[in-house]
């Protein structure tokens, strides 16, 4: 379980997270939805111990990521929205380095790597420099990096950006498999159709605050809307503003 208690994070005069209280449970796929700048990435970085909250505490399977960052990262796989790779290394060299860092047994490393190479169809890219790869293939490399040590917790920030349909399908199945093993899977996305199709639990965040959470059926009851797009727009307060702008557009 990941537990957030009264989390506040500010950047100068901007409050990125405003008293977040939240629990992320194992065995489910949790989707984090929100407009740009709503605080999703900040929440993930605090979870990983990459940012320190101004107030509150996070516990990741009982571990404090600020006080125990190494222990948290050992059990967590994180693929950030902004892809960061070792540009002068090949994917294979990157994975061998990660295998040493995570102390993955050689047989496990070889078995997992060969499986992910086939699943994501990156055999031709495995020995190229990461800096030479396309955006889509860099995304694949980043996702595999998060999966390689078979983490208890999988955190994916906009993981479907740049993926082709085949890779997106594979990733959905991997996420479902992880959750079925009673692990934690949490991801953010702007693609509402993916959240609707994959997520067991949906959290909607806006301006640093959680405005609603639950299953799609529960959110439907709250927002009195039937599809996730309408639910999202209604609960984030964007629906009225968007309709007004569309009316202006048609009058121009």
CB 40 within 8 Å of CB 34: yes
CB 23 within 8 Å of CB 3: yes
CA distance 17 to 46: 10
**Three-state secondary structure along the chain?**
CEEEEEEEEEECCEEEEEEEEEEECCCCEEEEECCCCCCHHHHHHHHHCCCCCCEEEEEECCECCCCCHHHHHHCEEEECCCCCCCCCCCHHHHHHHHHHHCCCCHHHHHHHHHHHHHHCCCCCCCCCCHHHCCHHHHHHHHHHHHHCCCCCEEEEECCCCCCCHHHHHHHHHHHHHHHHCCCEEEEECCCHHHHHHHCCEEEEEECCEEEEEECHHHHHHHHCCCCHHHHHHHHCCHHHHHHHHHHHHHHC
Q: Residue ranges per domain, the chain? A: 1-75+152-165+175-217, 85-150
Q: What is the mean pLDDT of each successive set of 10 residues along the chain, which is 252 residues long?
A: 96 94 95 91 96 96 95 96 93 96 95 95 96 95 97 96 93 95 94 88 93 86 75 72 66 62
Region class of 182: left (phi > 0), else alpha (psi between -120 and 50), else beta: left
pLDDT at 43: 97
Q: Which of 50, 54, 58, 97 is nearest to 78 (CA)?
A: 50
pLDDT at 249: 62
CB 202 within 8 Å of CB 31: yes
pLDDT at 173: 94
pLDDT at 231: 78
CA distance 73 to 90: 23
pLDDT at 229: 75
Please give the distance of CA 226 from its chain centroid, rounded to a whole number.
25
Give pTM, 2 decimals: 0.89
In CATH, 1-75+152-165+175-217 is 3.40.50.300: yes
């Amino acid at each position: 379980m990941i537990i957030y208690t009264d989390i506040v994070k500010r950047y100068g005069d901007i409050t990125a997270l405003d008293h977040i209280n939240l629990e992320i449970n194992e065995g489910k796929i949790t989707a984090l939805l929100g407009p740009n700048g709503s605080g999703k990435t900040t929440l993930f970085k605090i979870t990983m111990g990459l940012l320190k909250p101004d107030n509150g505490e996070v516990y990741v399977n009982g571990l404090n990521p600020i006080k125990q960052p190494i222990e948290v990262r050992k059990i967590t796989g994180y693929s950030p929205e902004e892809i960061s790779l070792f540009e002068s290394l090949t994917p294979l060299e990157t994975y061998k380095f990660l295998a040493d860092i995570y102390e993955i047994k050689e047989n496990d490393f070889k078995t997992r790597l060969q499986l992910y190479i086939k699943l994501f169809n990156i055999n031709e890219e495995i020995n190229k420099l990461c800096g030479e790869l396309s955006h889509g293939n860099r995304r694949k490399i980043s996702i595999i990096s998060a999966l390689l040590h078979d983490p208890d917790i999988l955190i994916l920030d906009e993981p479907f950006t740049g993926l082709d349909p085949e890779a997106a399908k594979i990733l959905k199945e991997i996420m479902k498999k992880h959750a079925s093993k009673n692990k934690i899977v949490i991801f953010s996305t702007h693609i509402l159709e993916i959240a609707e199709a994959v997520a067991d639990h949906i959290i909607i965040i806006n301006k640093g605050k959680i405005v609603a959470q639950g299953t799609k059926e529960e959110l439907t009851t709250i927002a009195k809307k039937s599809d996730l797009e309408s639910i999202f727009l209604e609960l984030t307060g964007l629906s009225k503003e968007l309709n007004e702008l569309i009316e202006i557009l048609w009058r121009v």
